[in-house]
Structure formats: structure tokens, C-alpha cells
Structure 1
Amino acid sequence: MYSTCLFCHSALGTNQIVEEFPIGRRLAFDAERGRLWVVCKRCHNWNLSPIEHRWEAVEACERIYRNTRIRISTENIGLATLSEGLDLVRVGKPLLPEFAAWRYGARIRSRRWRAAGLTAAGLAATGVAMVGGTVLLAAGVAAVGLGIVPAAFSSLAWLDEKYTHDRVLTRVRDEDGHLRSLKLRHFARLEIAMAENQAGWKFRVAHETGMLEL
């Protein structure tokens, strides 16, 4: 397993939480598809792990994530930060309690906020729930009394946007025959123009390698 980022070559760090995968300080996983990434904290790119290192590590990440007492989530991404400093990013459909918190925005105040290590004073929140001692927060809540929330939500929102906009939609070949991956963010600057040498239309897409014509 590599220990440096494939994109910026920075050290990915280590963790002592996931014994099956001790590389990285932020791990992203998709249990349904069996994928595991190490997210570089410097350039924020997702490094896909070799397939032979994935399955046991993905199962371990899922187990640890479910046992974490404080989690926040969007419709596609969940984030759990462990006390040891490891971030677990869960990709895919939210767990049922998380979906309930995200979808219905239950507002709950109880003594168990203190038991969970949180301060309830000044709490103004929507999308908050506590299920079986686990604090579930839906991204987008305004939680004044939760000191952990601003940075966590900012990170989660960025991860959700990064995952969504960097998702590969299709792959096409350019004029030189090279296979290029087109992501959702590439289509933000999609242009439609008349074809020069033939009737009809053509599309131009801004890509890292330059303007692609389709």
C-alpha cells in the first residue's frame, strides 16, 4: 500500500484505529461497492486503495463508523471524527437513523446531550437526533452550542461537493485517441457550437487537458 498521495506526493499519515488499513488520517469508504480511499489532507484528492487491501478494511471502517457516537451526514456522505483524530467518510445511502435526522429535521433537547459530551446551552438546531446514545446531525443545521459543528460541517459539505462533482459520468476519446474521464464538474462549462465540417452541432467541454470537442 502506498504511503504518499498519488497526486501531490505528500505523506498520507498513519492511523492506529483501522488495524486492517493503518494508512491515512482521513479514510473514505463505500461499503456497497467495496471501495476505499485515503483522502489527502493537503490537496484533498481521493487516493483509491489497491483492491487486495480493501474488503476487510471496508468492513472495519463500517463497523467503527456505526459505533461512533457523534456522526453528521448529508444525503450521500456521512462523516465521523474519532477522538484519536481519524476521520471516516462513509459514501452511499445513509443509515436509517441518519436518514431520519437528515430528512425530517427532528429537534431534540435532553440531558443526554451532556452525557454525550455536548453542551445544550444555546442550541438552535434543525436536523438533530439522538438514537441509542448516538448523536446524529444533518448537514446544514445551525447548532450554536456545538463547538465541534462548524468545522465538521464545513469539512462534510466540502467532501460531499467533492465526491458529487468529481464523480465520473462517462469516458470519451479525444482527437488523439486518448481516453478522457468526464466528471460532473466538467459539464459546468459545457458549450454548444455548430460543427464546422459537417451539419449539426458539437459540444465543447472544459477539461484539465484542455477543451474537448464531442
Structure 2
Amino acid sequence: MTADIDVTAFFDATPSPYLVLDADLVIRYVNAAYLTATGRTRKDLVGRHFFDALPQNPGALDDAQRSPKASLLRVLDTGEADTLVLQRYDISAPDQPGAFEERWWSNIHTPLPGPDGAVQWIVQRAEDVTAFVQARRARELASELTEREEGMASELYVRAREVYRLNEELRQAHARERRSPSPCRQPCSPRLTWTGTATPSPCATCRRPHH
């Protein structure tokens, strides 16, 4: 006995985003979760070619945006399911013409054959994993900043040690200088003395006679 199942109600009840394409990649059905994930209405999507309804971001710098089309073509060619893990595919902002929102997806494209065995439908399950990717990126950035901060702290510590060493050497040098006898501290006559040379004696340079 085969139970009668309302497929539309089934797909609309599931929390995962689902979309159904025909062999020409025209959208024939989307469930409520898919509309929520893309910010679109059924009128925006159903009856339109997939890449017209959800155009690729021309400003993307990598080739990853072309992967969904390649995946769908593989399904049509091989008749086998194809999976895209952590696939970037930006979504155009509906209220900002020409603007795109960065989005990441985990896609599974599953073929459904027709009576002749050829692929008649492709079911796309598209899980939005943008939050996961952005959180991982933030953790990596935080880790990179932490390593950089540790490096800076280490460098500052080394420099502080060097400054301390130089200050200590200067302090010791000043202490030695204070302990060493200076010509000016030696007893000498209060008068200028003549040493027989053109150079005055140490006492003469230390203490000048008062007139």
C-alpha cells in the first residue's frame, strides 16, 4: 500500500531550503525556507532560469562563483548527485540594485530521472552556512592578532631589558667615577705654582688665586 504524500506540504514543512529545477535549469518550485534564505518571493524565482533569478556577482574575485553552474551541468551529464561544500555564491540585494551580499552555502544537487531515464528534475538543497564561515574567519583573525600581540610584547620585553642593561652600565660607570680620585680633590697650594713647563700644575687649574 502506498501512502498519498503531499510533496509540496512536505517540502514547505522542512527547515532546509529546497529548490527544484527542470533540465533547462528553470526554477519550477521553491519551498518557504529557500525563500527565507534568499530573501525572495516565489514570483521572483519560479518560472525563471536559475542564473537569471539569482545572478552571479560580477565583482567576485575568485572563480568559485562559477562552481554551481558546473555542478548542475555535471548532474545533467552524469545523472549522479553532486555536492558543493562551503561554496561562496553571493545574493543580490533586492533593495539595492547592483549590490551583493556575501553568502556561503553547502549545496547538494540531486537528479530525478524521467520515464526515459534522462535527468528531468534537479533538486537543490542549499544550506546557508554564511554565519559559520564568518565566525571561523573571525576566530582566525583573532588568533592572528593574538600571535602578533605576543610577538610585539616579546619585542618590547627584549628592548626593555636592553634599556635596563644600558642604564645599569651607566649607573655603575658614574659610581666608579665618583669613587676615583680627581685632580681637583687632591690637596694643592692656594697659589699658582710654576712647574717649569708651559702647562700649569693641577692645582693651578683647580684653584685660581683671589685678587
* TM-score interval for Structure 1 and Structure 2 normalised by the shorter chain: under 0.3
Report the structure number with the largest CA radius of gyration. Answer: 2
Which structure features the higher share of helix residues? 2
Which structure features the higher share of strand residues? 1
Q: What is the TM-score normalised by the length of structure 1?
A: 0.20
Higher relative contact order (CA 8 A, sep 6+): 2
Q: What is the TM-score normalised by the length of structure 2?
A: 0.20
